[in-house]
Structure 1
Amino acid sequence: MTNTRVEAAYRRANTAFRNPTLDLLHGRYAPFVVAVLSLLFTADRPTVPVADAHVEVDEMISELRAAGYDEEDSPRLPAGGAREICRYWVRVGWLVPQIDDDVEVYRLSAYAVGALEIAGRAGASPTRVSRSRVRTLLEAVDRLAEDADVDPHRRLERLLRERDELDAQIRELQQGADPEPVDDESLLEEAENVLHLARELPADFARVAESIKAMQRDVIADLRRDIRPTGEVLREYLQRGQHVMQSTAEGRAFAGALRLIGDPERIDHLATQLRDLQLRSFASLLDDAQRAELDAIGRRVEQGVQEVLTAQRRASHVITAQVRTHDPVRDRQVDELLRSVMSGLQTWMQDSRPGSRVEPLRSFPHADVGHLRQTTSDLVPPGAPAPLAEARDVEFLDGDAQAWGGPRYTELEDYVAGLGDWFDLGGAFEEAADETRRPVDLLGLLEIAHRNGMEERDDVSVVEALRPDGTTRRFAFGAVTARTAKQENHD
């Protein structure tokens, strides 16, 4: 049983040391990596342009080599230039390249942030078991117990007890009592506890952002392998793109925390509190690094929130763009083509010899379609089509189809001719026969009025048209007075 427990513990430890965080700290050049990354990336500089990073890393290497830290018998600096070193850090997962405003930049991965945090804690003064840290633990346990308790009576008793304590403190202050002062040593312990808690945040934010990016890569890979109908794929993956923050455990946890720290007013209030604390007497007990770290808490929180939200927006955009261009048929064709190429390559490798050359395909072959027929060789000369017959001479076999046709101009013109010199178009349409009171006949009547001459009035005419199926429809238009016949101009 002991061997089994030891083996299990060894496997867990071996897995842990394969983590890039411990790999960074356990590597041969760990002091160099920690020193360079801690100087290259700061709270005010979370990303560095790639070109600038290469120049700065080159300068740091030159200074350390000039100071004698790269001895031949025991080299403590990696070989190669800054470009090769940074590319290696990207490959092992310590740096993450990305594009910001059309500029390629580096940022620390969550593993590197965690490693720098561990190195920073180890190099700083040892953490003390203080009243502040114990109280933080007890308060966290109390909040957990309160949130887990669903008994309304116990919760009511607890709230009443807290209210009584607050009322007692308010009465004391109202009666002129001075609040009990807190000594600087206790305030220093509180500040150190705040710094300890704040050091965890950058790595937490980075892990959330990287979990969203990993989810994005998984979604795109799943999408390319998906053979379901495109409509079903679109609905599922567009929904995942819109709710990307809820797709990972880290994202869901961050969404809950964002309700506390996402309010700009709360961030401004935090920055104000941190500035005020710098003016207190206990702040003089902090060293320069601690004061700078305390002052940077607000910026670190704001930058961490922005980093996660940027990763969320980028993942939503990438997933949506991939879904919109997703074509399962084309993807399968590309996969089949690549498989056929790999199969042909494997077949060629079996018979080929070292130094064998493959003649490249410089152009696609042309299809040989022969001679296309250009004429039909019709012996009958082309003739003109028969003239169109007059509409009144055409026999309609279906009376309903004719009823749904266009305006009956002949009937309308005959009707208008008997209305006198001028007529109100709305009134004339209302008094027309049912078969010429269709919606299209109203348009025909307006066309005749426009052709013969009309005058528009300020009032509105409202008419009711009758369709062939017996349904009606009301129309409103500017009132029109029209002539019954077109007036000729005589010189």
Structure 2
Amino acid sequence: MTNSRAEAAYRRSVAAFRNPTLELLHGRQAPFVVTALSMVFTADRPAVTIADAHAEIGEAIEQLRAAGFDDDEHRLPTGSAREVCGQWVRLGWLVRQIDGEAEVYRLSAHAVGALEIAGRTSGGGARVSSSRVRTLLDAVERLANDAETDPAARLARLQAERAALDSEIDRLLAGGVPEPVDDEQLIEESENVLHLARELPADFARVAESIKAMQRDVVSDLRQDIRPTGEVLREYLQRGQHVMEATPEGRAFAGALRLIGSPEHIDQLATQLHSVLVQPFAQLLDAEQRGELRAIGRRVEQGVQEVLTAQRRASQVITAQVRTHDPVRDRQVDDLLRDVMAGLQAWMGNGGRGNDPVDPLRSFPVADAGHLRQSVSDIRPPGAPAPLGDADDVEFVDTDTRNWGGPHYRELEAHLAGLGESFDLGSAFEDAPAGTRRPVDLLGLLEIAHRNGMTESDDVSVARAVRPDGTTRRFAFGAVTARTTREDPLD
């Protein structure tokens, strides 16, 4: 009996440590993983573009390695930041999503839970014991009151609560003052509130991931054509109700949705948090704790938005799958993919570890159909086209296409060779031969001047260029004086 109980307990422990949350905290690189994820993903930044995440995690690895933390006691990951993040995705710590036009990383529910556990243990929790016990007692009392079905017992409880409230109201009306609460107790209650708030992101992430898992199951059932489409969709609706109403995560989301759906509740929450932060005892909290208290409302809004986005995306995917659902086509695609994978595995098995060169398929082959007959009755083979005859109404213009090309560099350099050590760009262009006074030659002359070394002045030069068809164009530019040859001739 003892061995059986030990074996069962051990199996449960082994299964627990296979959970991605404990696997993250149990690994040799757990300190770095917690550090990197907590630095990159914050309450104000739940989603990070993939490029930014790679850059920040890569920078963190380099900084820690330069500080000497890459030893037997502190293990840092090897490889690039892209490879590290890819491994975290496979382990279930990061989730890749499309957010608008960019692909982003988000923390999975397992990673959020692991960060919450690490933050709670590193921050210490000795001072929140009384607040947690009080929270537990209040929750048990509320549970007992809600489960009470005896009208007399419930009436007695309500009358006792009203008597206590009337007594407190009478005391305050008589000039009494509220009993002061010790700062130590207020700090305990604040830390308890922070502890409860840190658990919300993990709950929201679990709801979102359960919706995604439900989406994958529904699409898989539709593709496999196990049951009729209507039956699968009915189960989808039932599972949707189950996720939102019959699970702890769904109940947490339903409560948050009721809170976020009422503007009065949101305003009341913001007012209460502000009133807490302006109290003198709030200065005894560190800056991080005050920031977390201030961000509670935003955390709730972000978590609800994440769940609603997952639900909306799941509805869109399932609707599109239902509209395009074709069991025959899906089976054909699945068979084709299986054949491709089987052929790839066979080829890789005979390829000798991938050392053999493979010629890529750059285009699909085209069938050579030859000449198709225009009619079935015409059995004569196609004849050759008639030869071209001389056309008297076509006029051929003998034009040198070279004149319409780029600059005549050789002629321009020969022209500059007779101008001495330096020249003025505008004057040199005006004195150039007729064939080298096109607009493009002015640009080539400017290129030669820039290459040999030129000096610009505030004066304005005007040059008239002549196109090959005889039309002219005037150009105004800053006066340029240039050398005829380079100051540092090339070898």
Aligned to 2:234: 236
Aligned to 1:179, what secondary structure does the other structure show?
coil
Taking structure 1 as reference, are residues 86 and 261 closer, same or farther at Cα in structure 2, changes over 3 Å only?
same
Q: Is the 8 A contact 1:21 1:111 kept in 2?
A: yes
Aligned to 2:53: 53
Q: Deviations over 1:132-157 (max 9, x none)?
A: 22211111001111122222222222
Q: Deviations over 1:390-418 (max 9, x none)?
A: xxxxxxxxxxxxxxxxxxxxxxxxxxxxx
Amino acid at match of 1:170: I
Q: Deviations over 1:198-255 (max 9, x none)?
A: 121111111111111111111111111125455x358537756986954873335522
Aligned to 2:197: 198
Aligned counterparts of 1:57 and 1:348: Cα–Cα separation in 2:
38
Amino acid at match of 2:6: V
Q: Is the 8 A contact 1:97 1:105 kept in 2?
A: yes
Amino acid at match of 1:236: R
Q: Deviations over 1:423-451 (max 9, x none)?
A: xxxxxxxxxxxxxxxxxxxxxxxxxxxxx
Aligned counterparts of 2:211 and 2:73: Cα–Cα separation in 1:
42
- Deviation (angstroms), 1:289: 2.1
Can you give the 5+ residue segments of structure 1 that lack an aligned partner in the other structure? Answer: 376-491
Q: Is the 8 A contact 2:203 2:252 kept in 1?
A: no
Q: Deviations over 1:96-115 (max 9, x none)?
A: 11111111111111111111
Q: Is the 8 A contact 1:69 1:75 kept in 2?
A: yes
Aligned to 2:126, what secondary structure does the other structure show?
coil
Taking structure 1 as reference, are residues 14 and 253 closer, same or farther at Cα in structure 2, changes over 3 Å only?
same
Aligned counterparts of 2:135 and 2:167: Cα–Cα separation in 1:
24
Q: RMSD of the TM alignment (CA)?
A: 3.4
Aligned counterparts of 2:31 and 2:343: Cα–Cα separation in 1:
50
Q: Deviations over 1:239-279 (max 9, x none)?
A: 56986954873335522442234423322321222122111
Q: Is the 8 A contact 1:212 1:251 kept in 2?
A: no
Aligned counterparts of 1:75 and 1:27: Cα–Cα separation in 2:
11
Taking structure 1 as reference, are residues 343 and 30 closer, same or farther at Cα in structure 2, changes over 3 Å only?
closer
Aligned counterparts of 1:131 and 1:346: Cα–Cα separation in 2:
62
Taking structure 1 as reference, are residues 324 and 160 closer, same or farther at Cα in structure 2, changes over 3 Å only?
same
Aligned to 2:474: none
Amino acid at match of 1:220: V
Aligned to 2:311, what secondary structure does the other structure show?
helix
Aligned to 2:274: 275
- Deviation (angstroms), 1:304: 1.1
1:119 partnered with 2:118: yes
- Deviation (angstroms), 1:118: 1.0
Q: Deviations over 1:321-345 (max 9, x none)?
A: 1111111222233344456667888
Aligned counterparts of 1:237 and 1:81: Cα–Cα separation in 2:
44
Aligned counterparts of 2:92 and 2:324: Cα–Cα separation in 1:
30
1:90 partnered with 2:89: yes
Q: Is the 8 A contact 2:128 2:192 kept in 1?
A: no
Aligned counterparts of 2:238 and 2:212: Cα–Cα separation in 1:
13
Amino acid at match of 1:52: D
Aligned counterparts of 2:85 and 2:345: Cα–Cα separation in 1:
36
Q: Deviations over 1:23-79 (max 9, x none)?
A: 1111111111111111111111111111111111121112112211124x6662111
Aligned to 2:310: 311
Amino acid at match of 1:304: G
Taking structure 1 as reference, are residues 174 and 33 closer, same or farther at Cα in structure 2, changes over 3 Å only?
same
Q: Is the 8 A contact 1:241 1:315 kept in 2?
A: no
Aligned counterparts of 1:117 and 1:349: Cα–Cα separation in 2:
45
Aligned counterparts of 2:10 and 2:375: Cα–Cα separation in 1:
81
Q: Is the 8 A contact 1:241 1:317 kept in 2?
A: no
Q: Is the 8 A contact 2:214 2:239 kept in 1?
A: no
Aligned counterparts of 1:342 and 1:82: Cα–Cα separation in 2:
30
Aligned to 1:168: 167
Q: Is the 8 A contact 2:211 2:314 kept in 1?
A: yes
Taking structure 1 as reference, are residues 239 and 324 closer, same or farther at Cα in structure 2, changes over 3 Å only?
farther
- Deviation (angstroms), 1:130: 3.8
Taking structure 1 as reference, are residues 25 and 332 closer, same or farther at Cα in structure 2, changes over 3 Å only?
same
Superposition pairs for residues 137-176 of structure 1, below 5 Å?
Answer: 137-176=136-175
Percent identity at matched positions?
65
Aligned to 2:331: 332
Per mean C-alpha deviation after superposition, the further-off stretch among 255-264 and 359-368 is 359-368
Aligned to 2:382: none
Aligned counterparts of 1:347 and 1:52: Cα–Cα separation in 2:
39
- Deviation (angstroms), 1:17: 0.8
Aligned counterparts of 1:341 and 1:326: Cα–Cα separation in 2:
23
Amino acid at match of 1:172: R
Taking structure 1 as reference, are residues 228 and 119 closer, same or farther at Cα in structure 2, changes over 3 Å only?
closer
Aligned to 1:101: 100
Question: Stretches of 4+ moved more than 6 A in 1?
Answer: 340-350, 352-361, 364-368, 370-373
Q: Is the 8 A contact 2:128 2:191 kept in 1?
A: no
Aligned counterparts of 1:356 and 1:60: Cα–Cα separation in 2:
39
Taking structure 1 as reference, are residues 178 and 300 closer, same or farther at Cα in structure 2, changes over 3 Å only?
same
Taking structure 1 as reference, are residues 211 and 184 closer, same or farther at Cα in structure 2, changes over 3 Å only?
same
Aligned counterparts of 1:359 and 1:309: Cα–Cα separation in 2:
45
Taking structure 1 as reference, are residues 185 and 339 closer, same or farther at Cα in structure 2, changes over 3 Å only?
closer
Amino acid at match of 2:86: R
- Deviation (angstroms), 1:364: 8.7
Structure of higher CA gyration radius = 1
Aligned to 1:37: 37
Q: Is the 8 A contact 1:267 1:302 kept in 2?
A: no
Aligned counterparts of 1:102 and 1:275: Cα–Cα separation in 2:
36
Aligned counterparts of 1:52 and 1:356: Cα–Cα separation in 2:
36
Amino acid at match of 2:234: E
Q: Is the 8 A contact 2:89 2:96 kept in 1?
A: yes
Amino acid at match of 1:60: A
Aligned to 2:253: 254
Aligned to 1:128, what secondary structure does the other structure show?
helix
1:63 partnered with 2:56: no
Aligned counterparts of 2:291 and 2:343: Cα–Cα separation in 1:
63
- Deviation (angstroms), 1:374: 4.9
Amino acid at match of 2:270: A
Aligned to 1:137, what secondary structure does the other structure show?
helix
Per mean C-alpha deviation after superposition, the further-off stretch among 121-130 and 173-182 is 121-130
Amino acid at match of 1:68: G
Aligned counterparts of 2:365 and 2:62: Cα–Cα separation in 1:
52
